[in-house]
Amino acid sequence: MSPLYPQPGSIGTKGKLARKPSKTTTHSVYSQVYGTTRLFGNKDLDAPREVPASQEEFLAGLMAELDLDNPDGITVAVGPFSTKGTFAVPIAIAPKVDEFIQGDHPIIHVLANLQGNAIYIRYEIGEKGESQRTKQGAQRALWFDIRLRDTDALAWSIATIKALETSLAEVGIVNPKVRQKTGKHGYKKNEFHVTFSGTDHRGNGALHSFPWWQLRHQLDGSCEGIAFSLPRTPYPTKVWHATAYMLSDEIRSMADVKPFCFHPNQYHCTCALAEAKRREQATYIPKAKRQNKEESINFFKSRAATLSIYKKASQNTSSQASSSTEPLTTEPTLEELTADIGKKPPPCFFTKRTRLTKKQCFRKPRINIIFDASLGFPGEGPTITFVSANIRGSITANKFYKTVATMKNEKIDVIALQELNVHRKDRHTIDAHKNTAQTLGYKLFLAPTATPTQIGGTAILISQTLLDDGTIASLSHIHPKGNSIHVKLTIPVIGLLDAWSIYAPADSNLRRDFFLRMAAFVKPISILMGDFNCVEDVALDTRRSANTPYENAGADIITYISVLNNLTDQMRTQLGYHFNFTRAESDNTGRYCSTRIDRHYLPAIANHIWDSEITDLLVVDSDHSAVKSTLHSAIPGEDVLYGNDLITINPRILEIDKYRNILEKKIKEHEDKHQNTHIYKSIATFKYMIRRE
């Protein structure tokens, strides 16, 4: 193995600037290692921290101070923004360096460029010895972390790392090194650590001039993050995206950017940093609590003075009544009562002594509530309705239009649809659905299927009325196979919500894998709506004739996700231990299966309550019932009823002639109207009628 530093007379080492190795190595006896420290103490003499230094200029400054004319054998390991560094010189030059260090001023000056002007960076030289104190990784203090927006790219991790390094170098990150993070037991995460030596944006190497916000996926859709491609994979033309989510302290300090959205601090944005302020404004705070200290002191002083006056008046009246021999038989006239107005309070006209308590005299002032169009009075606020439904296809029989029109008549704000069966290359159907949604007053976010034969596809529709009231809707993520889509909603008064439309795969293995990948994106503000193709509790959510075990793979994962993020199945809360279903199957042999596979997992929102129900009036020609959840405002501090109890039907009700005749009539009406002999649709209509009664 060749020595770390070149020997005297070696070929091809003239003027070579070598990086310091990443591991501690025993140095050759032909060279001596010294340490260097960049100075920042004097603002008049020292360059700012964001000014980079080059190893070539460091070598030139060192040769000027030591009066050398030949750089042979000198190696430098100083980063452009590093505070500490090292350099090595041959043994023949080491006495000059030692003499320079023992002098009164062991400082070298390195020429640098500050916005087109020449400036010098000062470095102090000191003893280093032969053991290296600083490793290669520690010199690269500039780093940030990124994660993939589509985890399918992890199947080609090596190609992904190389593609990310290429893309980062193209946008101006100098010498990027990407490393995939690992978790417990060596599990590879969907996170990458990026180190680099500097930036180069349009010829400017200053960190504050680099557009850091372009590395992050912005919620307003202005930037998708870091784009890259994987040409030697089954998807050579697909554009993948990664997003940065954390910058090092050095970058945030030198670039002066916000830690959440990476916009400059001078830029007043309305993204993640402004979200906390919107949440503060959304919560109602009584006026008395917002009074400052001086106003509170003045208030209590005035109440204390009022209490003192009334106590004295009460005592004087009591003493006069006890010493007087003539009882009070008549009340004073109006002239007597108004004679002392402006001088002192009128006396009390009773002989019994009254005790004034502190609670009676020090009551809280009446709060004068002023109406705010964006906040409203306490307990008031927007009532937002969320509905999910599996419509079993959206292309035939104009079903998409009928479903959305039905929900528009019911004034549904957010609609989550599953199993649209729209392929991503079917542009005609996709454009038709978008035009239909726009005509009916909705904004459509669609996740089509990957193949024409695949059953699935999801969509979310946001009411234009909700958007006109100040709600901001932006697409967050689309599953590559169309199994899920979620949209971020920024709603006045409420804040940020993440609405999901989910269609879990019917295959048990694919369903478990889908839930595991979905868990990384679910948050405590998420609203999970859709067809999960499994139930939480087989005993409570299924009724069937078969005796074989119910295939319920993935239920434990979705339950863990809901518990981890404090999401509630409001329908189960309202049902208690009773049964209700969203899908029913039966055949001519008498076999049947009723399950509650369509559910909503709802977040906890301050000063609001949820109310859920299962309805059959919002779906058209589908064997699934719709699930409807409504968000209501609640007055803080008051007891409110949490939802409505649903009515379940006992099968023995058919033993009563009255209801059996009604059921037969409804079945006949349903068959004549829809030409559909499915018994479960008639039973659903009958069930709704009994609920209404």
* DSSP H or E run through 663: helix 657-674
Collapsing DSSP to helix, strand or coil, 438 comes out as: helix
| Closest to 612 (Cα-Cα) out of 584, 645, 637 | 645
Task: Return the minimum-mean-pLDDT range out of 419-433, 524-538, 604-618.
Answer: 604-618
pLDDT of residue 503: 95
Task: Return the minimum-mean-pLDDT range out of 109-123, 303-317, 391-405, 498-512.
Answer: 303-317
Residue 169 in any domain: the answer is: yes
Residue 371 in any domain: the answer is: no
Range 282-286 average pLDDT: 51
Residue 369 in any domain: the answer is: no
Q: Is the pLDDT of residue 19 over 50?
A: no
Residue in the structure block whose two tokens are 């695949």: 454
Are 92 and 177 found together in one domain? no
pLDDT of residue 629: 94
Q: Is the pLDDT of residue 650 over 80?
A: no
pLDDT of residue 453: 86
More confident residue, 329 or 676: 676
Residue 616 in any domain: the answer is: yes
More confident residue, 595 or 71: 595
Proportion of the chain above pLDDT 90, given as a percent? 22
Range 616-641 average pLDDT: 75
Collapsing DSSP to helix, strand or coil, 658 comes out as: helix
Type of residue found at 562 = S
pLDDT of residue 412: 94
Nearest-angstrom CA–CA distance, 127 and 36: 9
Residue 373 in any domain: the answer is: no
Q: Is the pLDDT of residue 378 over 60?
A: no
Q: Is the pLDDT of residue 98 over 80?
A: yes
Residue 10 in any domain: the answer is: no
- Could you tell me if 535 and 596 are in contact, meaning their C-beta atoms sit under 8 angstroms apart? yes
State pLDDT tens for residues 39-53. Answer: 887 767 788 878 888
Range 601-610 average pLDDT: 88
- Strand-pairing partners, residue 388, are 416, 627
pLDDT of residue 14: 38
Are 164 and 258 found together in one domain? yes
pLDDT of residue 275: 60
Are 415 and 541 found together in one domain? yes
State pLDDT tens for residues 220-262. Answer: 667 888 999 998 888 888 899 999 988 988 888 888 888 878 8
Q: Is the pLDDT of residue 504 over 90?
A: yes
Are 464 and 545 found together in one domain? yes
Range 465-483 average pLDDT: 90
Task: Return the minimum-mean-pLDDT range out of 476-485, 542-551, 634-643.
Answer: 634-643
**Domain harbouring 578, CATH code:** 3.60.10.10
Q: Give residue 323's pLDDT band: very low, low, confident or very high (50, 70, 90).
A: low
Are 633 and 564 found together in one domain? yes
Collapsing DSSP to helix, strand or coil, 417 comes out as: strand
Range 63-90 average pLDDT: 83
Q: Give residue 372's pLDDT band: very low, low, confident or very high (50, 70, 90).
A: very low
pLDDT of residue 676: 55
Nearest-angstrom CA–CA distance, 401 and 307: 70
Q: Is the pLDDT of residue 336 over 90?
A: no
pLDDT of residue 354: 46
| Closest to 526 (Cα-Cα) out of 485, 498, 561, 502 | 498
Q: Give residue 281's pLDDT band: very low, low, confident or very high (50, 70, 90).
A: low
Nearest-angstrom CA–CA distance, 640 and 445: 35
Residue 178 in any domain: the answer is: yes
Are 133 and 157 found together in one domain? no
Are 159 and 235 found together in one domain? yes
Range 571-595 average pLDDT: 85
pLDDT of residue 9: 41
- Could you tell me if 257 and 216 are in contact, meaning their C-beta atoms sit under 8 angstroms apart? no
Are 470 and 589 found together in one domain? yes
- Mean pLDDT for all residues in the chain: 77
pLDDT of residue 35: 87
Range 337-362 average pLDDT: 48
Range 360-381 average pLDDT: 45
Task: Return the minimum-mean-pLDDT range out of 145-154, 284-293, 603-612.
Answer: 284-293
pLDDT of residue 75: 85
pLDDT of residue 294: 63
Our count of domains for the chain comes to 5
Are 122 and 263 found together in one domain? no
pLDDT of residue 387: 96
Among 397-401, 553-557, 642-646, the range of highest mean pLDDT: 553-557
Query: Considering the entire predicted model, what is its pTM?
Result: 0.44
Are 155 and 135 found together in one domain? no
Q: Is the pLDDT of residue 528 over 90?
A: yes
Nearest-angstrom CA–CA distance, 595 and 544: 8
More confident residue, 172 or 657: 172
Proportion of the chain above pLDDT 70, given as a percent? 71
Q: Distance of CA 571 to CAs 499, 613, 665, Å?
A: 18, 7, 30
Q: Is the pLDDT of residue 199 over 50?
A: yes
Range 274-302 average pLDDT: 57
- What is the residue range of 233's domain? 143-269
Are 396 and 323 found together in one domain? no
Measured between its terminal Cα atoms, the distance across the chain in Å is 91
Are 517 and 552 found together in one domain? yes
Q: Is the pLDDT of residue 138 over 70?
A: no
Residue 465 in any domain: the answer is: yes
Nearest-angstrom CA–CA distance, 633 and 447: 32
